[in-house]
Structure 1
Amino acid sequence: MKNWKKIKNEYYTLMSEQSDVNNDIRFLKHTIEENEVKKSRLDSRLVEVFEQLKDIQGQIKTTKKEYQQTNKELSAVDKEIKNIEKDLTDTKKAQNEYEEKLYQAYRYTEKMKTRIDSLATQEEEYTYFFNGVKHILKAKNKELKGIHGAVAEIIDVPSKLTQAIETALGASLQHVIVDSEKDGRQAIQFLKERNLGRATFLPLNVIQSRAVATDIKSIAKEANGFISIASEAVKVAPEYQNIIGNLLGNTIIVDHLKHANELARAIKYRTRIVTLEGDIVNPGGSMTGGGARKSKSILSQKDELTTMRHQLEDYLRQTESFEQQFKELKIKSDQLSELYFEKSQKHNTLKEQVHHFEMELDRLTTQETQIKNDHEEFEFEKNDGYTSDKSRQTLSEKETHLESIKASLKRLEDEIERYTKLSKEGKESLTKTQQTLHQKQSDLAVVKERIKTQQQTIDRLNNQSQQTKHQLNDVKEKIAFFNSDEVMGEQAFQNIKDQINGQQETRTRLSDELDKLKQQRIELNEQIDAQEATLQVCHQDILAIENHYQDIKAEQSKLDVLIHHAIDHLNDEYQLTVERAKSEYTSDESIDALRKKVKLMKMSIDELGPVNLNAIEQFEELNERYTFLSEQRTDLRKAKETLEQIISEMDQEVTERFKETFHAIQGHFTAMFKQLFGGGDAELQLTEADYLTAGIDIVVQPPGKKLQHLSLLSGGERALTAIALLFAILKVRSAPFVILDEVEAALDEANVIRYAKYLNELSDETQFIVITHRKGTMEFADRLYGVTMQESGVTKLVSVNLNTIDDVLKEEQ
C-alpha cells in the first residue's frame, strides 16, 4: 500500500510538472519567435544608430570648437571688463574725490564770498568806527566836502604787523583826514548840529611828519629784535605821508618785549617801542601790555578782508582747475561706462552663447551616450545571441524532459492500472474470502461443538475410567482381603474376577474410544489451525483493503477540502459561485492555456504593485479637497482679474496724470530756465516710452553754450537749473510751505538776485523758509532770523521784520 501511495504522489507530481513544462515550451517557442523578429529589427536599427552616432559625434566636434572659441572670446571680454571696471572704479573714485573737492571748494568759496560780502558790508557801513566818525565818513562827498577818509582806510599794513600798528595808532586809526582846517570845522559843525558824536580831524595842510632821531634810529637798527620804524612799515599814498609820519614817525617796532626793554635802555627811553604782540614801552620807561578778550578791530577786519579776497582768487582758480579735471574725468567716466556697457552686452551675449553651447554639449553628450549604450546593447544582443541559443537549448531540454515525463507517466499509468486491477481482484477475493471465512467460521463452530461433545464424552469416559479404577482398587482390596482372610470362596472370587474382566474390557473399549477421540481432536485441531491460518490471511487482505479504502477516503477528503477552499476562494476573491462561474466564464481554451494566461495576468498584477485598500476613501477626500481648491482657484482668478483690471485702471490714471503733470512741469521748467538764466533752453526727457518705468534726464543749454547733460554743468549752473525745476514744480503743484537750505550757495550775485526776486513772486501762494548766508536773498525776505554767538556756548536769536523797516526809518528821520 505504501508503493501505491508513492506511485500516486509521483503521478500527481509528474502531471503538474508536465503542465509546467508544456507552458514553458510554449513560452520558449514564443520567445524564440520574438527574438528572431527582434534580431531582424536590430540589424536595421544598428545601421540607423551607427549613422546617428556619426552625426552626433560630428555635431559634438563642431559644437566643442564653437564652444572653445566662444569661451576664449568670453575670457578675453572678461579680462577687458575687469580692466574697464578697474579703470572705471579708479576714474569714479577720482571723480568722486574731485567732486567732493569741488563741492567743498564751492562751499568754501561761497562761505568766503559770504564772509567777504559781510566784511565789505561792514566796511561800507563803517561798523567798527565810532558813531561820529561813521557819520562823517558816510557824509563824505555828500553833505561834506574835503573828507579823505579815516587813517585806517588809507594805510596798507602787512599781516604780521597788524597788531603792532593797531597798538601804536590806537584811536588814531579813526582820525579823519581832511584837506584843511576849514573842512575840519565844517565836519565838527555837522556833528554838533545833528548830535552825532565826536571825531578827530587831521588837516593835510597843517599836520607835519615826525621822525625818530638819527642816532636812535642807528642804535635801533643794530638792536636785537628790531623790525622796522612804524611809519616805514606802512604803505600809504604820498599825499598822506605826513599824516603817517606824524602818527607813527617816532615809533619803533621790535619782535617781543624783552628786546623792547633792551632797546629802550639803549636809547635811554626817549622813543615809544611796540612789539608784534602789542606790548608797548613808552618814553620814560613805562610799559603797557597784557591780555584782553579778542575783538574785531578796524585793521584786523581790513586785513582779513584783503586776505580773504586773495584766498578767494586762489580758490576760484583752484575751483576752475577742479571743474576742468572733473569734466575730463566725467567724460572719461562716461566713455568707460559706455564701453563697459558695450562690453557687458557682449559679455552677456557670449555668456548666453557659452551657456547654450554647454547645454547643447550636455544634450549631445547625453544623446551620444544613449546612442552608444543602445549600439552596445544592440551589438551584444545581435553578436552574442545568448538569449535565442539559450532559449533553444532550454526548449530542447524541456522537450526531452517532457518525453521523459510522458514515459514516466505511461509507466505510472500502467502501474496504476495494475494496482487498480489488483484492487478490483482484491475486492473480489475479499468477498470470496469473507464468504469462505463465514463458511469456515460456521464449520469451525460445528467442529468446536463436536469437540465440545467429544470432550464431554471424554470427560464422561474419564469419569467412568476413574470409577472403574476405583472399583478395581476396591476389587484388589477385596482380593487382598480375601487372600488375607482366606474366607472368600471360589465363587466369590470367580464373580469378582468376572467383574474385573468386564471392567477391563470396558476400560479397553473406552481407551480405544478415547484414542480415537484424541486422534479426531488432533485432526480437528489441525483443521482449526489451517482454518485459522486461512482466516489470518483473509484478515490481512481485509486490513490491506480497508487501509487502501481509508487512503482513498483520505484523498477524497483532501480533494473535498481543496474543492471547498477553491469554492471559498472563488467566493471571497471574485464573489462568484461555482454555477455562476460555469455559466458566465466558460472557455474553449485548454487548461494549460488558461494557466498560462493566469500566470501572465498575475505577473501583470504584481507589476501593478500593492493595492491601496483605502483608495476609495482617499479618492473621496481628495475629490472633496480638489473641489474646494478648484472653487478657491476660481475665486482667486476672479479676484486676480479684478485686481488686474483695477491695476490697469490705476496705471492708466497714473500714466495720464504723470503725462499731464510732466508736460506741464516741462513747459514751466523751460520758461523758468530762460527767466533765471536770461536765455538758453532746457528740456526734461524721458529715458524710455513707458511713463510708469521711465527715468527723467535733464538736458540744458545755458546761454552761449552747447546743449549738454546736467552733470557737465558747473556747480552754479546745476544749482540754478535745480532751482528752475523746483519753481516749475511749485508752479504746477504749489505747497503750503517749502524749506530751502542754502540752495543758492553756488550762485553768483546776479543769479542770487534773480533767484530772490522769483522767490518773492512765489511767496504769494507758498510760504518759504530759507536758510542762507547770501545778502541778496536776505534783502527780499519778509522777516530775518539771525543766530549769533557773542560768547562761547551762548547763542542768541535776533529777529527783524523787514516789512516794517521803512516805517521805522521814516519815524527815526
Structure 2
Amino acid sequence: MTIITKLSATGFKSFARKTDLIFGNNFNCVIGPNGSGKSNIMDALCFVLGKSSAKSLRAEKSANLIYNGGKKGQPSKKAEVHIFFDNSKNEFPFNTPEIKVSRVLNQKGMSKYLVNDKVHTRQQVVDLLNKVGINPDGHNIILQGDIVHFMQMKPNDRRDLISDISGISMFDDKKNKSLRELEKVEGKLTEANVLLVEREANLRELKKDRDQAKKYVDLKNKFKDSKATYLHLLLREKKERRDSIQKVQDEHNGKINVIQSKIKEIRTSITEKQTEIQEINYQLDQKGEGELKLLQMEIGSLKSGVYKHEARVETVKSELLKIKNRKKQLLGDISENEKKIISLDREKISLNKKINLIKEEDSHIDNKLIGFKKKYGIENLGDINVKLSELDKKIEEKEKLLNGAGDAKQDLVRELDRVSFRLDGIRKELDRLNKSKNSNSLKELRKKHGAIEKELSKVIGEDSILSGKVGDGWSKINSLESELSKFKAKEVGIKEGILNNKSIDKVRKFKGVFGTVSELGNVEEKYSLALEVAAGARIKSVVTKDDIIAGHCIKELKNNRLGVATFLPLNKIKARRKESVSALLKKNEVYGLAIDLVNFDKKYANVFDYVFGNTLVVENIETARKIGIGKMRMVTIGGDLVESSGAMIGGFRGRTGIGFNQKQISEKVSVLGEELSNLNRDLQEGMERRSEIEHEIESLRNKKAELYGDIVKIEKSLGIGSSEDIIKENKELDRKKLEFEKELEIIDKDFSKFEFDVNELKKEKSEINEKLINNPEIRDNLTVLESEKEKLRDKIVNINSDLSILNNQLNMYHSEVGKVKEIISGHNKEEEEFGRELVDLNKVVSGKKTDLKDKEVKEREFYGKNKELASKRNKMMELLTVKEEGIGKEEDKINLIRNKVNEVSIKLAKAIGEIEGLEVEFEEYKDGKIRKGVSIESLKKDISDFERMINNIGNINMRALEIYDELSNQYDALLGKTNKLKVEKDDVLVLIGEIEEKKADVFMKTFNHLHSKFREIFNNISTKGQASLVLENEENPLDGGVDINVKISGSKKLDIRSLSGGEKTMAALAFIFAIQEYNPASFYLLDEVDAALDKHNSEKLSKLINTYSGTAQYIVISHNDSIITEANQIYGISMNEGVSKITSLRL
C-alpha cells in the first residue's frame, strides 16, 4: 500500500522556510488553533497531488500560494512542495524504495512538476498517481468545508459519487468511445448510402443500354454458333448423302453390268435356236404350212395378252386387300377416338357441374358481403382493399402531376422554342434545295428511291409472313418427327432381336413356317414387358405347320451351320394341364392369366398355352407374396418372375429387343408418316418461295443503295446534308412540336384540377379508413369474406383452364375423326374404281382365253399331220418366247435401274453443288462454336429467331458494356462496404447495450455493499436510530439519485437534511467510512471534518479513525483536542509573525 512518508514545503503559503513533516503509516493528527496554518498542510498535499484550481487551495490565484513575507518578512520567489511516497513494494514503476513527487510554482503562476527531481508534465504526474490509485479529487481527500458539501450533496451527485467508486466510469468511457465510433460509422454509412443511391441511379440509367448491348452481342454469338453448327451439320449430312448416293449409283451400275451380261448370254442362245427354227420352218414350208405361221403368231399374241391382264388382276386384288385392311384399321381408330370423345364429354359435364356449384357458393358469399356491408353502412365502398389501393395510386399520380406540372410546363416551353428555331433553319435549307438547278433530277431520284422502298417493304412483308409459316411448319415437323421417332424406336425395338437372328431368318422363307411366337401375338403396351419375361426363351420359338417341315428346317440349319432354333409343330404341340385359378383372378392387383392377355389366331392356341401355361400376371412382388410364393408361376408388370418352385428372379430389367407386336404402334407410325410427308411438301414449297424472295430483296436493296448514292452525290454538290435526313428531321420536329403544344394545352387545362382531385381523393380515403379503423370487426370480417371469394375465383379459373384443355382435346379428336372419315371416303372411291377395273379385266381375260383355246385346237390338228417337226419347232419357239420375255424383263429391269441411275446422278450433282456452296458459306462462320446435341430443324428455327431479334434491337451502344461493368464493380464494392458498415453499427449498438447492462450490475453491487456498511457504521457511531441509502428509481437506478434516510423511534423517517449539524456530519462520515470499506484508499486526508461535532462525537470519530487506520494511513487536520485521544502521531501547528511552525509528537 502506497503511503505518504514525508511532506516538505518551502515558500508555500505560511511555510516561509523549509518545513518537513514525517508521517506514520497509521493515524496522524495535525492540531492547532484557528489561523495557525494547519490547513495549509492539506493544501500543500493537494498542491502536489495535482489540484489545478487555486480556489480549491483557498487562494484567489496561483501566485497567492507563494509566501508573501507576512508583516516583516521577505516574500518568497517561489513555492516548492515535495511529497515522498513509500515504494517498498514497487507499486510505482521505479526501482527505488521511495518516490519523490514535487511541484514548484513561480510568481508568474507557472507550475513545474517533478518526479524524483526530473521534470514531468502535470498530466504525466496525474497518470502516474492514478496507476497507484491516487486521485486529487478522490473520496479519500476531504478538504475544509467538503464535509458540509457531503452533507448537502444532491441525490444525483451522491449517485455519481457511488458510480465513481464502483468504477463504472470505465464503462462510460467505453460507452462514449462506442458512441463516438457509432457516430463515425453512421457518418460513413450516410456517405456510403448517398454514393450507393447515386451509383444505383447511374446503373439504372445505363442498364437498359448495357442489357441491349449484351443482348445484341449474345444474340450475334448465338447466331454465329447456330449458323456454324447448322452449316457444319448440313455439310456433314450432305457429304454423307453424297457418299450414300455415290454408293447407290455404283450399285445400280453394277446391277446393270450383271443384267447386260445375262442378256448377252440369252441373245446368243436365242440366235442359235432361231437358226434351228429356220431350218425346221424351211422344211415345213416345203410341206405347205403357210397358214400355221399365222396361227402361231395369233396364239403368241393371245398368251402374252392373257399373261399381262392376269398380272394386272393380281395387282388389283392386292390393292383391294390393302384398302380393306386399311379401312378396318381406320375404323378401329375412329372407334377409339369416339370412346375418348365420350369420356372427355363426361369429364366436361362433371367440370361444368363443379363450376355451377362454385358459382352458387360465390353467389352465397356475395349475398353475405352485401348484407354485411349494408349492416355497417359500407355497401357503397365495394372491395375495400382494392379501393384503398386504387385511391393511394390515384393520389400518388395526381400529386406527381401537381408537383411536376410547373417544371414540365417550363421544360416544354423551352423545348418548343428550340424545336421552332430548328424548324425555321430546316425549312430555309429545304427552300434552297428546291430552288437548285439539280432539284429536278434529285426529285426524280427520290421518286424512284421511294418506289423501290415501297416494293422492298412489300416483299419483306411477304417474306416475314412466309418466315412465320415456315417457322410454324418446322415446329410441327419437329414435334411430329419426335413423336414418330418414339413410336418407330418402339417398333424397331420389338422386332430387332428376331431380325438379327440368322437361323430364324433362313427358315422363314420355307412354306409352312408361320413365324416366331413373338410375331404371332399382339399385346397391350402395359403388359408387354411382363409377357415377354413370362415367355422367356420360348418367345423366339418358330411355329411350323407340322413336324415334317420342322425337321426340314433343322436339317437346313445344320447343313448351313446357321445355329440352333426351337420349332413348335402345330400337329404335335400339346397344351399344358391347367389348374383352376378363378379364385385368384378376383383378387386386387391380379390382371389375369398371361395367355388371356395375348391376342392370337385360334389355331395357335396350343402354342401359346405351351409358352405361358398357368403363368399369372400380377402388379408387383408384394402381390405375389400375398398369393403365395411357390404356389404357382407369377410375373409382375415390372418384369419380376416368381417360379412355381419358389425361385424369385427380378431387379432392374432392360428391354431385350424381342417382344410381342403392339398393334397401336404400327398404326400410329403409318398415320404420323403420312402427316409428316404432307408437312415436308408444304415446307419445301414455302422455302423455295422464300429463296426467290431473298433474291428479290437483295436485288431491290442493291438498286436502293445505288439510287441513295446518286442522291447523296447531288446533295453534296449542292453543299447540303442528306435531304432524306433533313426531310425526316423536319417531319420529326413537326411531330414533336404538335406533341409539345398538345401537352402544354393539357397541362394548362389540368393544372388547377389536380389539386382539387388530390384533396377529394384524400378525403374519400380518410372516410374509408375512418370507418375501418374505428371498427376492427368490419375490417377483419370483410377480409375473411373477400379471401373466400378470391379462393372461389381461383377455383373457377383453374376449372375453366381444365375445360379449355378438354375442349382442345375434343376438337383434336373430332378433327382426327373427320380426317379419318375423309381418308375412308377416299379409300371407298379407290375400292369402287379397282372393283370396276377388276370386272373389266376378268371379262377381257375370259374372252382371250376362249380365243386362245380355239386357236390351240387348230394348232393341235395341224400338229397331228406334222407331229415330230412341228413339236420340235413349237418347243423351240416356246423356249424362244420364254427367253425373249426374259430379255424383255431384264431390259425392263435395266431401264428401271437406269431411270434410278439418272435420278441418282441428278441428286449427286445437286449434292456436290450444295456441298461446294455450303463450304463457301461456312468460311464466314468457321470461328463459331459447334453446338452439340441439336437438330438441323431446331437450328433453322434458332437462326431465324436470332436474325429477327437482332434486326428488332435497333441502335446499340456497345460502350455501355464496359462502362456498366466498371460501375457495377464500384456499386458491388460500395454495397459490400455499406453492409459491412451496417454490421459494424449493429455491433456497436449491441456493445452499448451490453455496457449499459454491466454498468447497472456493477453500480448495484457497489450500492448494496455501501448500503450495508453505511448502516453498520452509522449504528456504531450514532444512537439516533437506523440510517439507510435509498434509491430514488429502483427499476433504473442510474436514472435517479441516492438519498440518505434516518429512521428514528417508531416508523418515522427523516432525510439527512432534517438532522442536526453534528448528526449530518456523523452520517456523512459513516458514508465516507463505508466507501473505505468497499474501496479502501492507501491514505485519507481529512481537514476539520469534526468542526460541527461535540466532544462526545469527536471522541467517537477519533476511535473510528483509529480502527480504520490499521488498514490505511489517515492524516487528520483538527482544532479539537478530543481528536488526539486515539492518534498515533500528533503534529502541533503554531504561527509567529505569519510563519507556521510544526512540533511533532509520536505516541
TM-score by length of 1: 0.31
Which structure has more helix as a fraction of its residues?
1
Structure with greater Cα Rg: 1
The structure with higher relative contact order (CA 8 Å, sep 6+) is 2
* TM-score when normalising by structure 2: 0.23
